[in-house]
Chain A
């Protein structure tokens, strides 16, 4: 059986309830400030994205990606590969079809 509310209670508590609901909607926990790292990540579009791990590394250190190659961007860069051939120091692909020896003096 439904009991009707008392009109005085209804008049007093309805605005109070509405006020509490409004305050709850506007307040709540403040949004935390971004940490220093988060702040940089949002502000600096140059933040590097981690590169995927390279499993087939060139023989020596990598070179700048702008280094030109004749075989396209995915080709191996031989300009950092040093080796000894017939007692001389060489740079490049040991199987290169063109073998060039520079006779020179450091002075």
Chain B
């Protein structure tokens, strides 16, 4: 989808954190802190977190610091960001908002204001995109 619909300029895609498990918050903080240095870095960290998903259950500060180094972030800035309680609070507030909106299925999608719950095959997405 990114290679077709996003690349062509027809779709823009954003990410909203769902915190379903205890380690979810730290992973979300890593993405948020990457994005704080550069919005492009958010997506690099986003990709890396999914690639290393199995490591996240036991990840510690050093694990995330290694991720940051791997995608070219400035280490000390990242460390300070990860320790900033305001960052965690912001992510938790986003999670509260989605629960208030009754978005509880993971993943869910908001496409031009309509909520779709559950994973969507690409063909279904294309049909939704084609709707007026």
Binding site for B on A (CB under 8 A): 60, 63, 67-71, 75-80, 82-85, 87-107
Q: Tell me how many residue pairs across A and B have CB atoms closer than 8 Å.
A: 156
Instruction: Check A94 against B103 for contact (C-beta < 8 Å).
Output: no
Q: How far is the CB of A89 from chain B (nearest CB, A)?
A: 4
Instruction: Check B16 against A102 for contact (C-beta < 8 Å).
Output: yes
B77 at the interface (CB under 8 A from A): no
- How many residues from B make CB contacts under 8 Å with A? 49
Q: How far is the CB of B89 from chain A (nearest CB, A)?
A: 13
User: Could you give 19 example pairs across A and B, Cβ below 8 Å?
Assistant: A67-B3, A68-B3, A70-B4, A77-B7, A78-B8, A80-B40, A88-B14, A90-B13, A93-B10, A97-B10, A98-B12, A99-B11, A99-B12, A100-B12, A100-B13, A101-B16, A101-B110, A103-B18, A104-B108
Binding site for A on B (CB under 8 A): 2-21, 23-24, 27-28, 31, 35, 38-40, 42-43, 46, 49-50, 53, 56-57, 90, 94, 98, 103, 106-112, 129
CA distance A75 to B49 in the complex (A): 30
With a cutoff of 8 Å between Cβ atoms, the chain A residues found around residue B40 in the complex are 60, 80, 82
Instruction: Check A105 against B19 for contact (C-beta < 8 Å).
Output: yes
- With A79-B7, A98-B5, A102-B107 already in contact, the answer to whether A90 and B12 are too (CB < 8 A) is yes
Q: How far is the CB of B71 from chain A (nearest CB, A)?
A: 13
Instruction: Check B13 against A107 for contact (C-beta < 8 Å).
Output: no
Q: How far is the CB of A95 from chain B (nearest CB, A)?
A: 8
Q: How far is the CB of B130 from chain A (nearest CB, A)?
A: 10
Q: How far is the CB of A25 from chain B (nearest CB, A)?
A: 64
Partner of B10, one of A67, A70, A76, A101: A70
Instruction: Check B24 against A106 for contact (C-beta < 8 Å).
Output: yes
With a cutoff of 8 Å between Cβ atoms, the chain A residues found around residue B5 in the complex are 70, 98
CA distance A100 to B39 in the complex (A): 17
Instruction: Check B9 against A76 for contact (C-beta < 8 Å).
Output: yes
CA distance A69 to B14 in the complex (A): 20
CA distance A84 to B12 in the complex (A): 11
- With A67-B3, A106-B27, A106-B28 already in contact, the answer to whether A88 and B9 are too (CB < 8 A) is no
With a cutoff of 8 Å between Cβ atoms, the chain B residues found around residue A68 in the complex are 3-4, 7
**Max count, chain A CB within 10 A of own CB: residue among B18, B39, B46:** B39
